[in-house]
Structure 1
């Protein structure tokens, strides 16, 4: 058979594929097509595809007809030029046969769950222009073959993976990284020095090396990147000063060296040489000196964060002349060495930022009354050496979420306008010289979670009823549904301490240093209130108090004696309870760091009201690293906020070895100014019971099985948890959503019940024969207890 006949037969074979559009006589396109199909089918065989993104990849169609695949035009119509599988929920490894797609120009596998190493064979894709592998779980180093072979790359994004090792100096071979291209290696575990050869990529527009473990200095050669608009080296271990030439890159729009160990001074003329700068993150370093006076020309600046440095001098008046501070922006100057009085910065801001932090400096004088114009403010930290009174205009800050005025010399009484700040969740007035009584209006701040008033000169007592509130410390503190940390210590309060709400938890309140207080729960160890106090406060006949009190005391003593004997016997047969410290709030930024930016690689699961991420948090002294599970609420989902409040309320007084322990909580705003709420739990390495009863072997390297002893042990653990919730806690709690996915197993296979988002705290006086009158509506999920 002559060559012409062979070619015709090959072309006829290609026509069997409905997607074949061109058949060039005399070409070897059939072999190329088979090679392409083999490469793609190899990739499919190495990944799981729960979303069905690869369902059309089969021999009945030409590869150019397969989903997420694009072919060229003209004589290259049968050649694959683009493979876009981003955000397809793929799990598995990258097939090295993808290196056979020699005409490929775009390869986008970003935002999946790919594991393993980056195949060096991808370096054979000499025509490749775009390579996106971000947001996966890829490991190993950056293949040298990828940098030396794909020399035509214009965009390379390997961020948010688990890549390890040094950045190869050969990265300078990527000379075609041109506008508007970028290089992103951020959020990995790369170490070593920043290669000086990066300075050879003179056309580079965006450089992202953030969230790694890079050390050494910033190479002066990076000052040759004259087209750079994004310069992001935050959260590494870099030292030394910023090379002067970098301050001359006039195209810079975003500059971040936050959370390193950099030092030196900011050049006085830096805002003249950086006219396009919109975002400056330089906090958490060792910069010193004054804020550059050229700040007055920073007409595009919208975010200015220089907190936690060694800046000194007065807060420059030029700061108030920045004309484009937008309502979603942040002004952070805390933890420096600023002194003097605060100039009229606040009144000159053309629009109000959501964050204004000046705490931990040495600023003196009165709090500016102009603070009241910042009506979009959500975070206000002013702990310095301010004196005088709190201006009543502070009540205009109705959006305020967190206010910290601690460690000043503020005096006088708390203005009644504080009740207008209905969004407050944190209020810290400690270590000042406040006097008088706490205004009744603070009762309107129903979202309060932390209230700290220690070391002041407050007076008054704690009345029993709302009708008696006439400027005294109110009982309604106990009525706050979210408040779990209340510090009233070292004041001049008197009278009886309530025994409701936050006052039922000794670890959640502090009243020490108030020698005239009495009553409260036994754990506070306060003296018993006299009958005179009871008579004065209740305004009822003594006989109406004494008779029920004596009868109640006899009953309580009898019950206590019986309970003590019963509980002592029970301790020998069931797991003991463990103490739990009061929940401390963590910041949004801490949780971002702990979870690698809420990376999908740390995603443990997703529910109706939130997603749970694995994270690493340091203890209070920053030495020990603890594994945690972070539940991030989906606040846009109806009922999510209520679920957050219920879970905090239900678990704050629960202490049992078979309940999931809440370590911390976060009620803040994210970097975009949106509300953010999360709960931090103790991490359980063996996951949930659901994964053991119904294992999904596709996503697990080791198949899980429970033997009979383990099953019985788990049942006993859950039973102990429910027994505690129903009969032995501070108040009876009904879980309402008990199912295998809400039972977590620790390293010793001990079971812990969690997820109290649908829980119900039963009313006082509840019995098994008479349910709580407040129990309304259906709770839980249809079929919420799967067969085990």
Structure 2
């Protein structure tokens, strides 16, 4: 028995030892295998690095032997086996191709190379990534066909390959990727049909195929995707009818985007069975017939857009379906413009959704009057009724739409007066009432619309004077057009308040009197049309301040005197019409006057000279002819003597009057502006840290409120212990007393006193800027109030224009040119309306008026002035301050505004500056380096958020599909702005753009943006 037990124990020990031995061998094998596999990943990553041609942010510098590859930038590994599972190099500016060895990263689950500049074909080796769930190569330059081996990646959840140069067709094997939730191939060069196999993707939520060359009809199998929530095939070449059973095959459809296609036929009534529909978008197609009256059964609709089709029959009751839309209580956008709807607007419009934001009925054949009940739509921001057959008077009820921003009534048959109640629309930005039969005077109440960008009242029967309240609307920026009416009287001097206006058209009226000299303040004017009136007197010399004028028409008036020489000095003037006036004397020969085809001077019988092509008689000696005509030889000497004496006496008396007036004015201003040290100390709480709003090299800035409910002010207190502070105070005072401009920080007073301890005290008091500095908005810190805010494209553009306008004034409109010497974000302050004001003139310099604006010398020391990153390179080599130095700083500022990156950003180390870095991105990669918060905000990271992010991106894709505004803005507008910034910040001063040209170009970009937004305003309102 014992012998058996001993043998049994020996046998058991042997088995245990064998098991341990086998386990150890297995561990060693797995360790060796894992090590080998990890080395395989390493080699694959190194080969990936070798295929990178450009790496502007030096991302690949971390990919070296000094650290483990799992710690390289963009790499995430599985902790247990050190295999690479995430490769994320999104938005790094990388240029290169994709190595075939990417297929060796066999544990990879996420690959994100979006927003770079990869090119070449996608390798077939992608098919080896069997665990891949997310493949994002969005916005690159990949070409060729979609690799067929990608069909092996059956775990794919997201496949985002939009915005590339892919060719071929959509592969049928996509239908086998049953896990797909997001699939986007928009903006490529794909052709052929949409494969019916897409109908197998039962989990698909996002489908983006827009902007390709696809053709055929949408296969019926696609309509059977039971859980699809977003379907976008916008802007292709699809054609055919919408299937009649669409409502039954898409019962769970939420968002249906098919705009910008060639769908024909009628709207199937079965569509209403898609009861979950929220957004229905079929604009820019060829649909015919009527909208089903049962459309109101889709009571969850927020967007209903059938713009630019062929719907309607031009008959009564075409708009009967609006009655059923009363049930759509969350409807926000109703787009019906550009069809053939006839009949009257039903009274039921008053009962539409209280959430309705946009209502577009323009360009149809609707007649009758506007229902008074339209005033019930209290949330309406856009109302488009233009280009119809509407008649009668415009109801005062429109004045109840307090949120209305855009009102389109032009091109109808409205009569009667313009309702004064429109002046109640304080949010109104655009008002179109042209091409009607409005009569009577223009209501002065329109002056209450302080946000108007444009006002169009042309081609009506208006009479009376133009109210000064209208020409005092300083927000007007696009145009003011009252042409082809019967307005009369003189132009009020308040016209000078139109400082932002791009186009003014007062033609074909009965205006009289002189052209106001205050026109010289309208520094943004590009087109000025005053023809066919009764203006008289000389062409005002103040027009020479309007450096951006491209087109001037003063023809058919009673103007007299000589043609001013300054008109020939303009470098942007393209057309000048002075015909049929009483102008006389010699025609200038400079600038536009060299081109006979660019000017028109017919009907001025006393003109002479000019270029030969004008065929005018030569000018006689003017002095001789005057003496011969007016002075008899014997009377010449006494008459001339008397004339000279009277002229001298008049000048002397005028001098005394002006001097006395200035003295009184100076005394009055001194009394008004006296503020003591004690008042400053009290209103700042004893210069409390709670009221400290900024600090600089020479002092600190405090916020305070003057006594007796006085205004809020900003007080810049000089630190007189800082070397150069006193000199800075003197310099800033010298500059500020000589300047005054809308975009320069207004000084209230300067204080030179002593504090309570008897120490010298010096301070400058300014208007308080409630929105802080541009620095706070571009680079907010955690404790800043603006940290959750962002600047839109148009806000950034406005700020850029404001700063450029301020520099243009300093450089060219002051008696002595001034160089600011410290243009940077912290010296740009924003008021309550986000208007920019350039501040801090402590380093500013006056310039001699020698030689030219491009070679003038400083009267001050040539000590290096400015802030690091903004100082032009020539200053560092001993060059003196010049206006071209300011332009360099402005160029850097402009690049910073639109990229969100400081010039001292660590990304620009290693010999490459912000200017060179951005110049390399022009023109095709600008959107890769632009501040994303301009439009879309930050990206989402985790899987669920990423799916939502993809869906939001797809909806933005749709926005781009149907709205050319964004295309123009992103592909043209921003690129143009960046090009200006690069040009202004060129290393060579001679290559920098003239500041007047900068102002003109920025205004052109802005006006183009706004006009494009107007031309596609209906679709833009869908996005809003």
TM-score bucket of the superposed structures, by smaller chain: 0.5 to 0.7
How far 1:457 moved relative to its partner? Answer: 1.5
| Range that drifts further, 54-63 or 284-293 | 54-63
Q: How big is each residue's C-alpha offset from its partner over 1:260-305, in whole Å with a ceiling of 9 and x where there is no partner?
A: 111111111311x211111111011111112122322212111111
Q: What is the rounded CA distance, in whole Å, between the counterparts of 2:291 and 2:182 in structure 1?
A: 31
- Correspondence 1:514 to 2:509: yes
Aligned to 1:164: 166
Is the helix fraction higher in 1 or 2?
A: 2
Tell me how far apart the structure 1 counterparts of residues 208 and 61 of structure 2 sit (CA, whole Å). Answer: 35
Q: CA deviation at 1:476?
A: 3.8
Change (3 A) 1:344 1:91: farther
Residue of structure 2 in register with 1:30 after alignment: 35
Change (3 A) 1:515 1:83: same
Give the secondary-structure state (helix, strand or coil) at the position aligned to 1:228.
coil
Contact 1:609 1:635 survives alignment (8 Å): no
- The secondary structure found in structure 2 opposite 1:177 is coil
8 Å Cα contact 1:202/1:226 also seen in 2: yes
Structural mapping, 1:260-299, within 5 Å = 260-271=261-272, 273-299=273-299
Query: Would the aligned equivalents of 2:246 and 2:268 in 1 still touch at CA under 8 Å?
Result: no
More strand by percentage = 1
Q: In the alignment, is residue 255 of structure 1 matched against residue 259 of structure 2? A: no
Q: Deviation of residue 131 (structure 1)?
A: 0.9
Deviation at 1:67, TM superposition (A): 4.4
Q: Structure 1 residues 758 and 111, CA, compared in 2 at 3 Å: closer, same or farther?
A: closer
* Shift, 1:177, TM fit: 3.0
Determine helix, strand or coil for the equivalent of 1:98.
helix
Q: What's the offset of the Cα at 1:439?
A: 0.8
**Distance in 2 (alpha carbons) for counterparts of 1:343 and 1:25:** 78
Aligned to 1:178: 179
Is the counterpart of residue 316 in structure 1 residue 291 in structure 2? no
Of 486, 489, 498, which aligns to 1:495? Answer: 489
TM-superposed deviation, 1:189 = 3.1
Cα distance in 1 for partners of 2:109, 2:119 equals: 23
Once the two structures are superposed, residues 214-261 of structure 1 have per-residue CA deviations (whole angstroms, 9 ceiling, x without a partner) of: 222222332332332211111111111123354321111110110111
Query: Structure 1 CA distance, aligned partners of 2:144 and 2:409?
Result: 48
Q: Is the 8 A contact 1:635 1:641 kept in 2?
A: no
Spell out the pairing of 1:629-644 with structure 2 (5 A cutoff).
Answer: 634-635=791-792, 641=798, 643=800
Give the drift of 1:324.
3.9
CA distance in 2, matches of 1:446, 1:696: 41
2:234 matched residue in structure 1:
234
**Contact 1:258–1:283 under 8 Å retained in 2:** yes
| Whole-angstrom CA distance in 2 between matches of 1:560 and 1:102 | 73
Q: Deviations over 1:331-369 (max 9, x none)?
A: 111111112221234322332322111111122222122
| Distance in 1 separating the partners of 2:341 and 2:31 | 78
Cα separation, partners in 2 of 1:315 and 1:444, compared to 1, 3 Å:
same
1:147-181 deviation digits (Å, cap 9, x = unpaired): 3343442321112x222323243334x513336x1
SS for the counterpart of 1:286 is coil
**Aligned residue for 1:353?**
356
Q: Summarize the Cα distance change of 1:249–1:647 in structure 2 as closer, same or farther, 3 Å threshold.
A: farther
CA contact (8 A) 1:317 1:344 kept: no
Contact between 1:291 and 1:311, CA under 8 Å: does it hold in 2?
yes
Q: 1:502-651 to 2 correspondence within 5 Å?
A: 508-514=503-509, 520=515, 524-526=530-532, 528=534, 568=589, 634-635=791-792, 641=798, 643=800
- Report the CA distance shift for 1:739/1:433 in structure 2 as closer, same or farther (over 3 A): closer
Question: Are residues 561 and 25 of structure 1, via their aligned partners in 2, closer, same or farther at CA, if it must alter by over 3 Å?
Answer: closer
Q: How many angstroms apart in 2 are the aligned matches of 1:506 and 1:287?
A: 41
SS of the residue 2:471 aligns to: helix
Query: Does the 8 Å CA contact 1:224/1:245 hold for their aligned counterparts?
Result: no
Question: Where does the alignment leave 5 or more consecutive residues of structure 2 unmatched?
Answer: 1-20, 313-317, 517-527, 538-558, 570-584, 600-773, 779-789, 809-832, 836-890, 896-911, 924-978, 1004-1024
SS at match of 2:380: coil
> C-alpha distance in 1, partners of 2:136/2:364?
44
Hey, what does 1:150 align to over in structure 2?
153
1:557-581 CA-partner distances (Å, limit 9, x unpaired): 7978999979625789x999989xx
Per the TM alignment, residue 318 of structure 1 is displaced from its structure 2 partner at its CA by: 3.8
Q: Which of 36, 52, 69 is equivalent to 1:63?
A: 69
Q: Measure the CA separation in 2 of the matches of 1:437 and 1:71.
A: 75
Q: Shift in Å at residue 117 of structure 1?
A: 3.4
Q: Is the Cα contact below 8 Å between 2:415 and 2:437 reproduced in 1?
A: yes
Q: Contact 1:380/1:402 (CA < 8 Å) preserved in 2?
A: yes
SS of residue paired to 1:300? coil
Structure 1 position 208, deviation (Å): 1.2
Q: 1 CA distance for matches of 2:253 and 2:1000?
A: 46
Cα 1:176/1:197, change in 2 over 3 Å: closer
Task: Report the alpha carbon displacement of residue 373 of structure 1 after superposing the two structures with TM.
Answer: 3.0
SS at match of 2:125: helix
Tell me which residue corresponds to 1:206. Answer: 206
> 1:717 matched to which residue of 2?
none
Give, in angstroms, the shift of residue 696 of structure 1.
4.8
Q: Contact 2:93–2:116 (CA<8 Å) still a contact in 1?
A: yes
Q: Does the Cα contact within 8 Å between 1:481 and 1:649 map onto a contact in 2?
A: no
Q: Which residue of 1 aligns with 2:984?
A: 742
Structure 2 CA distance for partners of 1:285 and 1:694, relative to 1, 3 Å: closer
> 2:371 and 2:411 mapped to 1: Cα distance?
17
For the structure 1 residues 647 and 339, does the alpha-carbon distance in structure 2 shift closer, same or farther, using more than 3 Å as the test?
farther
Give the C-alpha shift of residue 394 in structure 1.
Answer: 1.6
Aligned to 1:450: 454
Residue in 2 that maps onto 1:628: none
Q: Which moved more, 1:563-572 or 1:97-106?
A: 563-572
3-state SS of 1:58 partner: coil
In the other structure, the counterpart of 1:774 is none
- Indicate the SS of the match to 1:139: strand
Match of 1:482 in 2: 476
The alignment status of 1:409 with 2:375, answered yes or no, reads no
Cα deviations by residue, 1:743-782 (Å, 9 ceiling, x for unpaired): 799xxx996755439999xxxxxxxxxxxxxxxxxxxxxx
Whole-angstrom distance in 2 between the partners of 1:23 and 1:322: 72
* Structure of larger gyration radius: 2
Equivalent pair of 2:91/2:116 in contact (CA under 8 Å)? yes
| Cα distance in 1 between the residues matched to 2:560 and 2:463 | 35
Aligned-pair distance for 1:427?
Answer: 1.1
Ranges in structure 1 where 5+ consecutive residues have no aligned partner: 1-7, 12-21, 463-472, 532-552, 580-606, 612-632, 652-674, 678-687, 703-736, 761-788
- In the alignment, is the contact (CA less than 8 A) between 1:484 and 1:502 conserved in 2? no
Which residue pairs with 1:756 in the alignment? Answer: 999
What's the CA shift for 1:108? 2.0
SS of alignment partner, residue 265 of structure 1: coil
Name the structure 2 match of 1:374. Answer: 377
Alpha-carbon distance between aligned partners in 1 of 2:92 and 2:567, rounded to the nearest angstrom:
63
Secondary structure at the residue paired with 1:417?
helix
Aligned-partner SS, 2:108: coil
Q: Any conservation in 2 of the 1:307–1:336 contact (CA below 8 Å)? A: yes
CA contact (8 A) 1:212 1:235 kept: yes
Question: Structure 2 CA distance, aligned partners of 1:358 and 1:477?
Answer: 31
SS of the equivalent of 2:259 reads coil
- Structure 1 residues 490 and 260, CA, compared in 2 at 3 Å: closer, same or farther? same
Deviation at 1:198, TM superposition (A): 2.6
- For residues 395 and 262 of structure 1, the distance between their equivalents in structure 2, rounded to whole angstroms, comes to 39
TM-score, length basis structure 2: 0.50
The answer to whether the Cα contact below 8 Å between 2:277 and 2:301 also exists between their aligned partners in 1 is yes
What is the CA–CA distance in structure 1 between the aligned matches of 2:513 and 2:407, rounded to whole Å?
Answer: 30
- Alignment: residue pair count: 583
RMSD, matched Cα:
4.7
Superposition map of 1:375-454 within 5 A: 375-383=378-386, 384-454=388-458
Matched, 1:85 2:106: no
> In structure 2, the residue corresponding to 1:44 is in which secondary structure?
helix
CA gap of 1:39–1:410, structure 2 versus 1, over 3 A, is: same
Q: Is the Cα–Cα contact under 8 Å of residues 515 and 535 in structure 2 kept in the other structure?
A: no
